[in-house]
Structure 1
Amino acid sequence: MQYETLSNHSWISANNIQFGHRPQGHQQTEDAMKFNLDDMSLDELRALRKQVDRTIDTYKERQRQKALAELEEKAKAMGFTLNELIGGKKARRSSGIPKYRHPDDPMTTWTGRGRRPDWVKEALANGKSLDDLLI
């Protein structure tokens, strides 16, 4: 009888799906879960297909998580964090604390860094100083 491997722990033969390790000589074991597709109702078949589809869809992410956990464990055993070894994401730089406020719109502010906003240029052109705009 020919067997087709689905994964390390499942295999299929004709209309039977067997979960568990395929024993030597293709003998069935008590701890293996068996499904005879011919004996299943349409609802059971659809539920099984849904489970298989979900498992397939999440396979890559589960493998990625497993690999990540193994790498983190190995790094920890060597006295490092994984981020230290791979140069993980650095903390994002803050945009800064506002230092100046628009005279007419208190919600509009400027940190004093970078190009001057138009409202600061207009205030300076109208005779105000940066000290007048300080928060």
Structure 2
Amino acid sequence: MKTDFTELSEAELTSMIENAQRALKEKKETKRKEVISKIKELAASIGVNVEITEGTKVSGRKGSKVPIKYQNPNNLSQKWTGRGMKPKWLQTLLEQGHRLEEFEVKS
């Protein structure tokens, strides 16, 4: 089926697009249900029960903040958690002969 879209009116094109989007959404939903069913079937075949939760995103991170371990005494806005690369301000001070312990934040 080949359609010459230039021959269609705006209303016909809009209707065709809406119908195509609806058909695509239905196909995706049908496929999704088939995949979920297959997953459950495969899991059951090895004695595993699978629960599929829909509409929720699971994140490995809980968003907890890492406490600050080090702070520049000359500029209190410069802080470091002790994770990752040392910040430039800390590297510079260490190169000047300071020790890391000097910059520890006391709780």
Q: Normalization by structure 1: what TM-score?
A: 0.42
Q: Which has the larger radius of gyration?
A: 1
Between the two structures, name the one with larger relative contact order (CA 8 Å, sep ≥ 6). 2
More strand by share: 1
